[in-house]
Structure 1
Amino acid sequence: MSYIANFEKALEIGRPPNIRTLFPNSRALIVSGKVIDRAMLAKGNAMTIAANGRNHLIIRGALQAAQRAHAAIIIEIARSEGGANAYCPVNYWNIARQVDALCNELAITVPVAIHADHYGIKKPEDIPVAVVEIPTIFEAGITSIAIDASHMPDADNLLAGIELARYIPSWAGLETEVGEIKGKLGLSTKEEALFIIQGLNAHDIFPDWIALNNGTTHGIEASAQGIQVELTAEIHKAIADYAVSGAQHGTSGNNSDRLRAIASQTYTTKANVATALQMVSWGLEVNDYGNAVLDTNGDFIKIPGKGVTEELWQEMRSFAESKGWKKGDYKSLNLSFENKIMGQCKAVRDRMARRVENFIYTMLVEVFNAGDTARFGVEAILEAGSYDIGPKTGRIESPENWTPDKIRQRAATIVSDKGPAGDYDD
């Protein structure tokens, strides 16, 4: 049977309840994050981009790239980017509407998940807020979430994950995280990863992904330390019995060869890209690491005729300078300038989206091995006969061994170096 025929069937049964309620007449195949993970696993040695849609034109370019590559894809926004204190115009409560509208406008026929990345829990007092807020973002069309309590000690991280799982639909994609991401300092260990995954498993919680502190950072990467592929592979092997895929954060600071190694040598199926897409959309020069190239004065290099107009870029720069912002703070320009960006002529908007499209297409096809994975996502839905394709494994651990008291006792025996405190939400 042709892909389009299968797509039509998947469209009937593969859209989760919140998506059907919000968009009853839509032809966008918005799916659970689980579907995207299974598509990559079915192809093997493949991971797709989780594109942080910091502005509308990034989302447009990402969807165009996925359609061109015939790849299943994730569009996401992090809590710092699009939560209650957002610095981006795209947020947890409007991202699904933007994705759905663009999928219909552009006739996108690949599976797309909408992921709430880095739903950060930095202290136990954050949990009551999350209990109220998490249901609202699913009501707004989120189909996958990362509960990131990795800033807290291991026991509190696990207990937060257990508590908040009650407020996440069972059909939704789920990501957990261990080890706050901060580059070469405070790397995650097998013991930490096993502790989190085993403890969740004992409570019938089966994450689709785990994000590790495996040697990379978020934002503009100043060093060449990069992802430690061997460490990642070692940890993934240690948790293999629990069928958890890897989620790679901070890919913007790593070159294509290292990212190919992550796809081919580990169990990673999701690779977050945020800062690089922002820079590409604006028309800044970036290197193979996805980092913006700086001139001899330490300034960003704007490519004439690419991205925003030269006049608008100068206005954006002047605004940032008036605020005393460093290069890493330029991300806050997204919220301040979205309307001016969308008020540019169509030719400029199109070239912004097209540059994102070309960047992501190359990543999907030549680096991530995600080309032609759309069909595997559709097949996963048809095989399950439902939007809810279920977990990849069942309970292995005994609940009685993972009570709150025993969780704290176990955590006290873990030897790890979390490194200095940091704030790496993106």
Structure 2
Amino acid sequence: MTAKDTCAKNFNTALDLGRPPNIKQLFPNSKALIVSGKYIDRAMIKKGGAMTIAANARNTFVLRGALMAAQRADAAIIIEIARSEGGTNAYCAVNLWNMARQVDAICNELHITIPVAVHADHFGLKKPQDLDLAKTEIPSLFDAGITSIAIDASHMPDSLNLLANLELNPFIPPWAGLETEVGEIKGASGLSTPEEALFLIQGLNAHNIIPDWIALNNGTTHGIEASGTGIDVALTREIHEALAPYGTSGAQHGTSGNSSDRLRQIASLTRTTKANVATALQMISWGVEVNDFGNAILDDNGNFIKKKDQGASEAVWQQMLGTAERLGIRGGDFKKLNLPFENSLLAQPKKTRERMVKGVEEFVYTLLTTVFNAQGTASIAMDEILKTGSHNPDPKAKPIQDPKDWTRELIMEKGAMIESDKGPDGNFDD
């Protein structure tokens, strides 16, 4: 048997063993290796000092470009959309119920063979009353092909955040990638603390829930990063080290606008394996000029600069600007143009559509290979699937907390003793 034959055999075996039940049922004849987010996390850990992109697929062009870049880089990646972006009040055409179908179709069309997780990011709950709807909505996401989810009750007090995670866990398949969040993602106000993070992770551990990732407010913002302050690497490392006995990796939100050097530090000095990128990819797909950090460059009047012969056609761009002006949309709120203009963008000439995808591909490829150190992790993930022989890898840690110490009453008591500065309201977008 030739090396090529062996590679093909291994890939087919990984398809059979590694795809979770919902993916097999939805796409029985597919050649797309859609897997649990757990395998993506494990591949980064195995390589060491590596994190991969969780690309917010606000439009089809971002989705295609990110997958093509990952294939070139032999990098396992995550395709995601937040509940606020692609939920029932979506402002993106790619949503939580069609994202897996689009990933599957594009992978088959373009012969993408790298492992991909499909992640429901920031499944946000702002109050306990939101849990009843979530118990219906979360199963519907997995019915639609989601393979990983982030439960984000970080807007609530720490005790209610933990209790929400506990109450919703039975509705999440045990094989699915799981992210939890502490502290809202909103910049320098209300930074997360080791005490808050330990409270959440220890409480989950006591109930045999081992999250793959935790997201923090570690100093960055969502959307367009204007302050220049960015991610607090030292704080991130401190919290991750405190959580090490529980096997929790970091999920870095709001990477757009942070320097490559800072992101390299996050990859090499912390336990981060997942880095969300949204705004930068959207802007690049449209042809908006960005700096090396993926941050949009504004002219003297505070307007975006559209690069000639890149991204969307000039005609569609002018339509987008007109709509933004009419609706009073500026800055980061340009994201709200994704849904109304998806079809207009898809109706452009093939050459224009291809350059939109290519811009995203080049940016993501550079991130994966020169900043995130993710190259080669697709092969590692494939090996892990073959070694495990299952769609569900073993947990990264065991329960070490006593459940008797984490009853509802004790959770409320412990939570009340945490000194927490939630700061001003944040948001769920990247």
TM-score by length of 1: 0.99
User: Where in structure 2 are the equivalents of 1:194-213 lying within 5 Å?
Assistant: 194-213=198-217
Q: Return the letter of the residue paired with 1:297.
A: N
- 1:27 CA drift (Å): 0.2
- Provide the rounded CA distance (Å) in 2 between the counterparts of 1:156 and 1:425: 22
Query: Which residue in the other structure is 2:259 paired with?
Result: 255
Query: Which residue in the other structure is 1:425 paired with?
Result: 429
- Provide the rounded CA distance (Å) in 2 between the counterparts of 1:234 and 1:3: 41
Task: Check if 1:267 corresponds to 2:267.
Answer: no
Q: Return the letter of the residue paired with 1:240.
A: A
Shifted more, 224-233 versus 416-425: the winner is 416-425
* Segments of 4+ moved more than 3 angstroms: 1-5
- 1:6 CA drift (Å): 2.2
Out of 395, 401, 409, the residue aligned to residue 397 of structure 1 is: 401
Does the CA contact (< 8 Å) of 2:182 and 2:217 recur in 1?
yes
Query: Which residue in the other structure is 1:281 paired with?
Result: 285
Does the CA contact (< 8 Å) of 1:180 and 1:213 recur in 2?
yes
Q: Return the letter of the residue paired with 1:71.
A: A
Per-residue deviation, residues 61-87 of structure 1 (Å, max 9, x unmatched): 000000000100000000000000000
- Provide the rounded CA distance (Å) in 2 between the counterparts of 1:132 and 1:325: 33
Task: Check if 1:149 corresponds to 2:153.
Answer: yes
Q: Return the letter of the residue paired with 1:338.
A: E
Query: Which residue in the other structure is 1:51 paired with?
Result: 55
Does the CA contact (< 8 Å) of 1:216 and 1:253 recur in 2?
no
User: Where in structure 2 are the equivalents of 1:1-400 lying within 5 Å?
Assistant: 2-400=6-404
Unaligned runs of 5+ in 2: none
Cα RMSD for the two superposed structures: 0.9
Does the CA contact (< 8 Å) of 1:158 and 1:200 recur in 2?
yes
- Provide the rounded CA distance (Å) in 2 between the counterparts of 1:288 and 1:150: 31
Does the CA contact (< 8 Å) of 1:120 and 1:425 recur in 2?
no
> Could you say what secondary structure the match of 2:151 adopts?
strand
Q: What is the aligned residue count?
A: 426
Per-residue deviation, residues 359-407 of structure 1 (Å, max 9, x unmatched): 0000000000000111111111111111011311111101110000000
Unaligned runs of 5+ in 1: none
- Provide the rounded CA distance (Å) in 1 between the counterparts of 2:263 and 2:400: 32
Does the CA contact (< 8 Å) of 2:56 and 2:277 recur in 1?
yes
Does the CA contact (< 8 Å) of 2:118 and 2:145 recur in 1?
yes
Does the CA contact (< 8 Å) of 2:124 and 2:428 recur in 1?
no
Q: Return the letter of the residue paired with 1:135.
A: P
- Provide the rounded CA distance (Å) in 2 between the counterparts of 1:368 and 1:7: 25
Does the CA contact (< 8 Å) of 1:57 and 1:349 recur in 2?
yes
Q: Return the letter of the residue paired with 1:285.
A: E
Does the CA contact (< 8 Å) of 1:3 and 1:375 recur in 2?
no
Does the CA contact (< 8 Å) of 1:245 and 1:267 recur in 2?
yes
- Provide the rounded CA distance (Å) in 2 between the counterparts of 1:292 and 1:194: 36
- Provide the rounded CA distance (Å) in 2 between the counterparts of 1:215 and 1:329: 21
- 1:3 CA drift (Å): 4.2
TM-score by length of 2: 0.98
- Provide the rounded CA distance (Å) in 1 between the counterparts of 2:260 and 2:427: 26
Does the CA contact (< 8 Å) of 2:82 and 2:428 recur in 1?
no
> Could you say what secondary structure the match of 1:337 adopts?
helix
Sequence identity (%): 66
Does the CA contact (< 8 Å) of 1:186 and 1:420 recur in 2?
yes
